[in-house]
Structures are given as structure tokens and as C-alpha cells.
Amino acid sequence: MKLGIIGLPQSGKTTLFNAITRGNAPTTASAGRIEVHQAVVDVPDPRVDALSKMFNPKKTIYAKVTYADIAGLETGSAKSGISGQLLNQLNQMDGLILVARCFENDNVMHPNGSVNPLRDVDTMTSELLINDLIAVERKLEKLGDEKKKGGTDKTLNARQVELFEKIHKALSDSKPLRDIEFTNEEEKELSSFGLLTRKPLLTVFNLGEGQQALDSSSLDHPSVALMCKLEMEIAQLSTEDAEVFMQEYGIKELSLNRMINISYELLQEQTFFTVGEDEVRAWVTHRGATAQEAAGEIHTDLSRGFVRAEVVAYEDLTSLGSMNEAKAKGKFRLEGKEYIVKDGDIMHVRSSL
């Protein structure tokens, strides 16, 4: 699970990155250069803590999420298409976090001359949409040339033309592709074709200290307001000092936890667990995944040789106190490969391999 942090220069992208990752990457502007800072973060989950306490394993492993601070995306970049180097970075992301500046600071110039976060969000989302539109127009032109030259699969060509004309119409109407429904076949067709507005998007409004959140109801995607600089400073303190600081400012939870939970919602991910004396571990799979697909997240051999999954719900196991008690109460069950995994399921996969 990989999320890219984007935004205009001086919006606080790296500040947010540092707050989430407890890092200290330099927050100075990159002067137009494409720079990428990445960090893998443990997903805080009290369920992992409870299971670890119950089984006392040798290792406890949390689910992971990768955040990438991507510098280099500015206004006007989509007029001729986003550069190949930057586009390659963006296409590697499962979702995008757009940072919009709300704070005022006379010492930090805004690239557009004034602070207007809703304008900036519109500007940046338009950049992504225009880039997709350019890419789709080029694809349709290529398909037209292939049809004229012949020698290609006519049925495939016609199907792709129909799909990309559908996409072109949506983009021409200023509709991001994440709001468009595609068939499974269309999804497969588009999987290798990088379109940025298909990616889930979350806007983070970067507030100044004590600044109130603005009305973001006009947005067509989720958003959250954070005091990124303050939370970065707290994240870089020792645990003891951070607790005192948070009490003083009335902060109950750092952006680290909030952003990761929102990230899960954004990407439609869920968590299941494996437990034992050797290891308690959280795994990530997409919502709606079958038991066989979830087994593949653990190891491909478990998916290929899948026989059955032993499953118990987290709530049942922890309320009853032990696996033996869960079995005695009929809460422990065997499921087949088509079973739809639920968030919090504890699984043990039986495999023939």
C-alpha cells in the first residue's frame, strides 16, 4: 500500500510527511527538481497489541503503509503532459494525498501570490485531469493509426476505442475517473495504462496553529484538516515530551494514526491476522477479498495450494479469551476458497503445498 504526497510548492508536503513518519526530511523547496522521500510506517492497531498480549509471540508485526513525498509537481505541468520522470513516480502510487496550504506566513511566498486552499485544490486536480485527457487523446490517435494500417486485432481495437472514448467523454466533462464505474474487463484493460484521476484522492488542508478548518463540502473527494507543522514538531519529540505537549494543546491523537486510518478508508483496504507463539501479524488485503486471495498475501504457495481456512473473528476470540474456548463455543469455523474475508478475521490457512 503506497501513497504519494503531492501539492504546490510551499504547501507543506514534506512537513506532513515528517509528521506521519516521525522523520526529519528537509522541508526546503526543491527548486523544480523531482525529489522523492519514502518511508514505511507501521499501522497502529490496538487489535495487534491485544493479540500479542494474548499469545505472547516471539515477534509482533504490524501492517505497513509506504508514504512518498513527491516534489516537482507544479501548476502548468500538464499543458504538455506531466514529465515522464514525475509521471513514473505518480503511477507507482496506489493513492494520492494532496496537501493544500491554509496557513499564512509572510516569510513563505505562495506560488500563486495568495493563500486560497480551495483554489489550489481545484488547480491541482485540474492538472491531474488534463494530464489524463492528453494521455487518452494520444491513445485514441494511436488506435486510429493502428486501425488504418491494419494487421491488428480488429475486435480488440474496437473494444479499446470504445473504452477510451468513454474515458475521453468523462474527462472532457471534468469528471475524475475514480468516479466512473468500469467493468472487470475494463479494469484489466486500464491496469497498465497510467491514469492519475483513477487513483483515490485525499486532500489534507494544512492549517496554521490555532486556525479553524474551512468548509470543504464542495469537494468531490474526502478531506481532512491538520496542523502539520505542530504535529511534525510533536512527532519529533521524545515520548514523554510529546505527551506533555499534546496535553498542553489538547491534541488527543497525532496525524500519524489519523492519516493511516484515513489511508485505509481511502484505498478500501482491510486487515486480517495470523496468530501463534512464533508470530502475531497483521496483513492487508482489499475489501471483498476471498480467503484464497487473502492467503496469497501471506505467501503465493498458500493461495495455489489452498484447501481450507480456519477462521475466528477478532471480537469472538478476545471476548472468549482463548482459541480453545472459541472452538468450544462454535465460533471457530472452516471456510472455503470463496469465503469473503472480513476486517479483523484471524486466519490459519490449510494448504496442500
* Spatial contact of 320 and 54, defined as CB atoms under 8 Å apart: no
What residue type is assigned to position 123 of the chain? T
Using CA of residue 190, residue 192, residue 196, residue 198, what is the dihedral sign? positive
Q: DSSP state, 191? A: T
CA distance 332 to 288: 21
Q: What values do phi and psi take at 317, rounded to 5? A: -65, -45
Question: Which residue has cell 491554509?
Answer: 102
- Strand 345-351 and strand 306-313: the pairing is antiparallel
Residue 28 CA to residue 16 CA, distance in Å, equals: 13
Q: What is the pLDDT of residues 195-236, one digit of tens each?
A: 999 999 999 999 998 888 888 889 989 998 888 898 888 888
The H-assigned helical ranges of 115-214 are 117-149, 154-172, 184-190
* C-alpha to C-alpha distance for 245 and 241, rounded to whole angstroms: 6
CB distance 249 to 230 below 8 Å: yes
Cα 38 off chain centre by: 14
What is the block-wise mean pLDDT of the chain (353 residues), using blocks of 10 residues? 90 90 69 75 91 96 91 58 77 92 89 91 92 93 87 84 95 94 90 90 91 88 89 86 84 73 84 96 95 96 96 96 93 96 96 91
Is there a contact between 133 and 171 (Cβ–Cβ < 8 Å)?
A: yes
- What is the structure's pLDDT at 27? 60
| Per-residue CA distances from 263 to 182, 230, 247, 266, 307 (Å) | 23, 21, 26, 5, 32
- Grid cell listed for 125: 486536480
CB distance 313 to 270 below 8 Å: no
What is the third-level CATH fold of 288-351? Ubiquitin-like (UB roll) (3.10.20)
CA angle 52, 54, 57 (to 5 degrees): 45
Which pLDDT value is given to residue 76?
57
Cβ(89)–Cβ(70) below 8 Å:
yes
Q: Round to whole Å and give the CA distance between 123 and 167.
A: 21
- The continuous run of DSSP H or E covering 247 comes out as helix 239-249
Q: Which residues does residue 68 pair with via DSSP β-bridges, in sequence order?
A: 4, 38
Please answer whether residues 202 and 97 qualify as being in contact, where contact means their C-beta atoms are separated by less than 8 angstroms.
yes
C-alpha 31/C-alpha 21 separation (Å) is: 23
State which amino acid sits at residue 345. Answer: D
The Cα–Cα gap between 72 and 6 comes to: 9
Q: How far apart are CA 292 and CA 295, in angstroms?
A: 5
Q: What is the pLDDT of residue 78?
A: 46
**In what helix (H) or strand (E) does residue 261 lie, and over which residues does it extend?**
helix 255-267
Give the cell for residue 147.
486501425
Residue 154 has phi, psi (to 5 degrees) of -65, -35
Exposed, middle or buried: residue 188 (CB in 10 Å: 0-12, 13-18, 19+)?
exposed
The CA radius of gyration of the chain, in Å to the nearest whole number, is: 23
